[in-house]
Every structure is written in C-alpha cells, then in structure tokens.
Amino acid sequence: MAVQPSLSEVASMNALLAEPGSLEETGLSLGFLSDLAVKMFYFAGSLSGFELAESLKLPFHSVVERLLEFMKREQFCQIRGSGSLVAGSFQYVITDQGRDKAKEVLERNQYVGPAPVPLTHYSKVVSSQRIRDSVISPQVVRQSLAHLVLSQALQDRVGAAINSGQAIFLYGLSGNGKTVIAEAMGSMLLGQVYVPYAVEVDGQVIRVFDPLVHEVVSEPVDLKTNNGSGSRQDTRWIRCNRPVVTTGGELVMESLDLNYNPVIRYYEAPLQMKANNGVFLIDDFGRQLVRPRDLLNRWIVPLERQVDFLTLHTGKKIEIPFEELIVFSTNLDPKSLVDEAFLRRIRHKIHIPAPTFDEFREIFRRVCRSRNVSYDEEVLVYLLDTYYVKANRGLRSCHPRDLIFQAMDAARFLGLPQRLTKELIDFACNSYFVEL
C-alpha cells in the first residue's frame, strides 16, 4: 500500500485547498472577476447572488457579495427583485452598460466558467501531490497487473520503475501488452488528486479540467485545519483519480504547448499539463510525424528539472510543474530511435517479451473463461503445433483473445455451439494470419 502522508503534510495540503475567505485570497483581481461575471450575466440575462457564486465556484458571503457591490457601483448590473430577505437570493439583471462591457470583454476572452486559480497556486498544489512522494507495494503492483499473465521478474521491474517516479521506456514486439501495462500503471498510483477547472496567468485563462481525462470521484469535502476546526474546500478544484493521458501516432509538437484558440481567445492546456500527478503515455513511439529525436529533445528539461516551459501567444514563457510518470512505449528497436545519451536519462528501460508456451496457455484459458467457452487442451495443442511450431511463428499475448473471438464469430454465423474445435481454429487462423 502507499505510504500515508504525515499530519503536517495533510494540514499543508488542506491550507492550499481551503475555500478563500476574502476576495484577496482568490488570487484574482476584482477587475478580472468582474469581467468574468459580466459575461455570465450577458449569457444568462439574470442571476441570483447564490447562482453567480455557484457558477464562479466561489463563496457568496466572503467573495461574490463584494463583487456584486462593485458591479452595481459600475452599473454593470442591478437588483431586479428577491423572493426573500436573504442577500444571496436577490435577483440581479444585466444593464445596458453591462452588455456593452460584456461585448468588450468577449472581444478579448470568451472564457465563461468557474473562476480560475492563479498559476502560482496551481504549481504549489501539483507539487504537493507528486507521485514520487508515494511508495507502491508489491501487493498493489500484483493486484494492478492481475488481469495480465506476466512473470514475477517483469512485475518486479515494473514496480521498481513506478516507485522511482522517473521516466519509463517500454519496448518489445507489438501485441505483448506494452500499452495495457502502461495503462495499468495508473491504477497503481493510489489516492486522488485535485485538478483546477482553469488556471490564470497574466490575465489569460488556461482550461485544465478535461472530463475525457479527469475522472471525478467526489463532491467538495470539509477540510480539517491544524486546530481541528473545519473549513470548506475551494470548489475551483475538483477531486479526481490520478489521470492517465494516452497519445499515439497522432502526436505532434503543437500538442505539447498551449493551444490558443483565436476565436474563443483562451487556452487549452497541453497533454502533459492535463497529465500532471498521473501518467502520460506516449504510445507507438517512433511512428509520429515528428522525428523521434526532436520529440525526445522536447523532454530533456522536464525530465531533469520537473518543470516545463510553455509559450503564451504573446511570446511570454511560463513555467509549470512537470510532476507525472511519462512512459514511452514502442515496438521499434530503441537504438534506431534514440542515442545512448538520451537513453541514460530514462532510468528504467523495460523489455516486454513474447509469452512463453506456458504463459500463452494461461492467457488462452483466461480468454476462454471470460467468453464462457469451454477450454480444450487438445485444441490448444493443435493450434500451437500447426500454426506456431510448424509455421515457425512467434507467440504474441494478444493472439489467444483475437483467435478465440474470431472462432466464436464464425461459430455464431454458422449456427454452431460456442465451443472451440480444430475446424474453427483453422477458420480463425486462415483469416487472422497473413503472410508478408
């Protein structure tokens, strides 16, 4: 199991994630929040104080109430009515001056959503959630890889690599589980992390939270401070499982920098920023349009210093934390992709071998069980002898799944029972294997 953080570490983390007690504690200026709020009024027409607070993910009494007072003074909004005497229930409607202001702001930035957190705050939280501070036990590694048939020696190498928190290079022939192993690494990283909806830097907004990447696991919680009292969590942060971001042959250099959309005028975080505190898998390494050497050179500084540098469309460079487990996976010869100097920077290089005959048999059994197909040792021996030994063909971990699925597809089409026969094995192999 993972090592539990100390009480002082928990208290420090809770302080970073505590709900802001004032506008100043949000780390954002009154003008920035007013611009964001006036856009919300522009699209909604009218909002109550509580509704605006919920949209901004900021507390009403300590922040939004003061923001609304400022917006009323600037004549961006006005009170239309209230169903009660509670201040947060008052309905506010945008004014003509507010509409003009909103149009002006939308020309600069069309982001409408939860208030972002400052870049400095983001960096502190990411650094406090880094993978290197956890220790993953052999039991966790075995549980996470239990769905795969791997030797104990290989599991130990994977476990040691995960615990290092350093870059990992997986290589070997295709079809033997490199991608599945890399994805399983995400489940070894126990605990949850906090991800912001967005980050603010120099008045610019970078959207970080991505529902396709970040799996939300709980609602905001009450945090315990040093004196035992409780404080609400800052809801600009979302509690998620550690992310696993996978990219393959489609990866280009532009994907690794801030993506500025000139139409909506704000940024989408690059892949490695979304993967912070989790796993970033570059699959099919060497098959990207960009040269492998150029792609690897992109990671020299992040791998050595745990920081990355991104560029705003203004040309300004910003520094963000690089706290993630980056995994390169390839079925090409590593020597043909990178030089020895770069390989030295990747501490753990793990060869994923083809299965042995015994491992192939166990994979075959498991696939039969998962598909409710009766296992027949005689059929397996026929498969191995005819299509591997005599054909001088190498074993692959993916073959049992693919061949059994194809055989059962044929059985269903022909109206035969869902059980393996030599005839169905012939049908599947003749369709599956292609001589090149």
Q: Which of 53, 79, 114 is the last residue of a domain?
A: 114
Distance CA 58, CA 72 (A): 18
Does residue 127 share a domain with residue 105? no
* pLDDT over threshold 80, residue 7: no
> pLDDT grade, residue 223 (50/70/90)?
low
CA distances from 61 to 23, 68, 89, 297, 306 (A): 10, 11, 12, 49, 39
Could you tell me if residue 421 is inside a domain?
A: yes
Q: What is the pLDDT, as a whole number, of residue 411? A: 94
Mean pLDDT of 31-37: 98
Mean pLDDT of 138-151: 95
Q: How many CB atoms lie within 10 A of CB 193?
A: 24
Give the whole-number percent of the chain exceeding pLDDT 90.
72
> pLDDT grade, residue 133 (50/70/90)?
confident
Q: What is the pLDDT, as a whole number, of residue 78? A: 95
CATH number for the domain spanning 250: value is 3.40.50.300
Does residue 331 share a domain with residue 213? yes
Could you tell me if residue 209 is inside a domain?
A: yes
Mean pLDDT of 148-169: 93
Distance CA 60, CA 47 (A): 13
pTM: 0.86
Q: What is the pLDDT, as a whole number, of residue 425? A: 96
Q: What is the pLDDT, as a whole number, of residue 9? A: 59
Question: C-alpha dihedral over 77, 29, 106, 116, to 10 degrees?
Answer: -110
Does residue 270 share a domain with residue 179? yes
Does residue 248 share a domain with residue 291? yes
CATH number for the domain spanning 416: value is 1.10.8
Structure tokens belonging to residue 297: 């050179």
Distance CA 217, CA 239 (A): 6
Does residue 328 share a domain with residue 361? no
Q: Is 409 left (phi over 0), alpha (psi -120 to 50) or beta?
A: alpha
Could you tell me if residue 8 is inside a domain?
A: no
Q: Which of 351, 373, 395 is the last residue of a domain?
A: 351
Could you tell me if residue 109 is inside a domain?
A: yes
410-422 per-position pLDDT tens digit? 999 999 998 999 9
Distance CA 61, CA 304 (A): 44
* pLDDT over threshold 80, residue 338: no
CB-CB contact of 300 with 307 (8 Å): no
Does residue 301 share a domain with residue 287? yes
* pLDDT over threshold 70, residue 224: no
Does residue 409 share a domain with residue 346? no
114-132 per-position pLDDT tens digit? 999 999 999 999 999 998 8
Range of the domain at 103: 29-114
Could you tell me if residue 251 is inside a domain?
A: yes
Does residue 269 share a domain with residue 152? yes
Does residue 166 share a domain with residue 61? no
Could you tell me if residue 18 is inside a domain?
A: no
Does residue 187 share a domain with residue 105? no
CATH number for the domain spanning 73: value is 1.10.10.10
Give the residue from 167, 148, 190, 161 showing the smallest Cα distance to 4.
190
> pLDDT grade, residue 227 (50/70/90)?
very low
Mean pLDDT of 343-362: 92
Mean pLDDT of 170-196: 91
**Partners of residue 192 on adjacent β-strands:** 241
Mean pLDDT of 307-321: 93
Distance CA 302, CA 322 (A): 6
44-68 per-position pLDDT tens digit? 999 999 999 999 999 999 999 999 9
Could you tell me if residue 307 is inside a domain?
A: yes
Q: What is the pLDDT, as a whole number, of residue 226? A: 44
Give the whole-number percent of the chain exceeding pLDDT 70.
94
Does residue 412 share a domain with residue 321? no
* pLDDT over threshold 80, residue 311: yes
Structure tokens belonging to residue 310: 């991104």
Q: Which of 351, 375, 400 is the last residue of a domain?
A: 351
Q: Which residues of 14-38 are buried (b: 16+ CB within 10 A; e: fewer)?
A: bebbbbbeebeebbbeeebbbbbbb
Mean of all residue pLDDT scores within the chain: 90
Q: What is the pLDDT, as a whole number, of residue 221? A: 60
> pLDDT grade, residue 2 (50/70/90)?
very low
Could you tell me if residue 14 is inside a domain?
A: no
Q: What is the pLDDT, as a whole number, of residue 228? A: 46
* pLDDT over threshold 90, residue 230: no
Distance CA 203, CA 307 (A): 22
Q: What is the pLDDT, as a whole number, of residue 89? A: 92
239-289 per-position pLDDT tens digit? 999 999 999 988 989 889 999 988 888 999 999 999 999 999 999 988 888
> pLDDT grade, residue 404 (50/70/90)?
very high
Domain count, the chain: 3
Does residue 425 share a domain with residue 334? no
Segment of 65-74, 76-85, 183-192 carrying the highest mean pLDDT = 65-74
